[in-house]
Chains A and B, each alone.
Chain A
């Protein structure tokens, strides 16, 4: 094949202007492009009012989640009971435990901060809701972690927790005394759910941007006009 016969590669922009506009791929591309304003996926600038330590805790929470996932993945290598007999396994389990404690500590501070800042203003209700759902999903994930430790804590927590779950009709399908079921929920199902919710939450944060101060005025409005009460 000679060079002259090679068709120039069409860019997605070019194809979207032509026949490609009707393809499913082009539709998905447009949808993804429209999720957040141009340049806001990973901006290197933030509004001037983003200048407080309270903003660090959302990122700290995400960082803790990374440590949780990595230490959890290492624990999966040896299996459910490995950490009882391996000093390295016990160390990794300890890292997993403390990263979970840090995760919840930073998440709770992050949530309280967002509450006091009323960060749901300006069409950010779903950002708050997905954050709250991520918190509750994390509670379930941590709880199943305690159930699969295969030690005394697991015995006691599962035999006590079953009563509340059974009373609510949940225990009929979510058996906290079934180790096999709890292992799969903890290492697969719930992390996927929490990961999905967190992803939506982060996309919404990038889409709307960081909520302005409660008494902020619109910088594009006429000078001195106050738009927020």
Chain B
């Protein structure tokens, strides 16, 4: 009995061939023992990386200027989160691939208003702090244009100040923004900001979205990552901290971010995703793709496996 597959002609039935003794269970048990021993030995010798997470308190202590600049940026709408678009807000349309805009299709499913959620609401909890309460009241009473003018001016002034130090900012009309940003810094320093961002709407803080968005809006997280060669243009998608193999199976996904046009595109993420989806579908469908499905015959590598049956 024979069966056929496109491009190959009939292939003999495997069950029609003469057989040899082959102990599958023994093979599995030996393989399991070998893999278990290798895993345990590697664990004992190499361990595994565990670089502690950066707490918002650490961020405030190690890079206070970055916390202040990030808080001001959230109010000014200049941070990544503030201008992100779906699924967090409608500040932009996000990335698209020509006319295809998959990012906007589902809409805003995880609403985040960075100014309100990441800065103002946490600062509002400082009810015993008269200065910050007064600053928030002034902010709330101002028009949107006025708020924007204050926050943008302060962001620019921080960028121009030596080391971005809020204490060295040139005098100007920043309204309540410096006081609000300073209050955010105090909250972070005290260690309470994380809880306000992750557990504010639920006793059980299992959703880190807002805390991570705020942290990623600053430069401290990226600086720490780039110092460990984890940047996107450093093959960071497949690397991990320390001298560990990471996720080498993501090499092809990482590769596209290193080369044009992806490395210079504003729509790199969706372009890489689209390419990888097409390639992945192609990989799954190799048995049905003319030319590709018969390629192994021409490569001849199979002769290394079946040496005696040419």
Contact = CB atoms under 8 A, between A and B. Distances in A.
Instruction: Verify that A and B bind, or say they do not.
Output: yes
20 contacts: A40-B15, A46-B19, A46-B24, A90-B47, A94-B48, A95-B39, A98-B46, A117-B296, A123-B3, A128-B287, A132-B286, A150-B53, A152-B241, A155-B54, A156-B225, A167-B103, A180-B204, A180-B206, A218-B2, A220-B12
A199 interface: no
* Secondary structure of the B contact surface, majority rule: mixed
Contacts of B53: 150-152, 154-155
Name, among A102, A166, A181, the residue most crowded by chain B CB atoms within 10 Å (CB to CB). Answer: A166
Interface of B: 1-5, 8-25, 27-28, 31-32, 34-36, 38-40, 42-44, 46-54, 84, 86-87, 94-95, 102-103, 105-107, 109-110, 204, 206-209, 212-213, 215-216, 221, 224-225, 230, 232, 236-237, 240-241, 244-245, 247-250, 267, 269-270, 272-274, 277, 280, 283-288, 293-294, 296-297, 299, 301-302, 305-306, 309-310
Given A99-B35, A136-B280, A208 B14 contact: yes
A146 B240 contact: yes
A221 B9 CA distance: 15
B300 to A, nearest CB: 9
Given A117-B296, A227-B2, A214 B106 contact: no
Given A116-B301, A128-B287, A219 B5 contact: no
A160 B2 contact: no
A37 to B, nearest CB: 6
B14 A142 contact: no
> Which 6 A/B pairs are nearest by Cβ-Cβ distance?
A209-B14, A180-B206, A122-B11, A94-B43, A120-B287, A172-B106
B87 A47 contact: no
Given A46-B22, A101-B245, A118-B302, A156 B288 contact: no
Contact of A175 (B48, B94, B110): B110
Name, among A132, A143, A219, the residue most crowded by chain B CB atoms within 10 Å (CB to CB). Answer: A132
A60 interface: yes
Nearest to B242: A153
A46 B20 contact: yes
Contact of B240 (A37, A124, A153): A153
Interface residues of A, number: 105
A142 B212 CA distance: 21
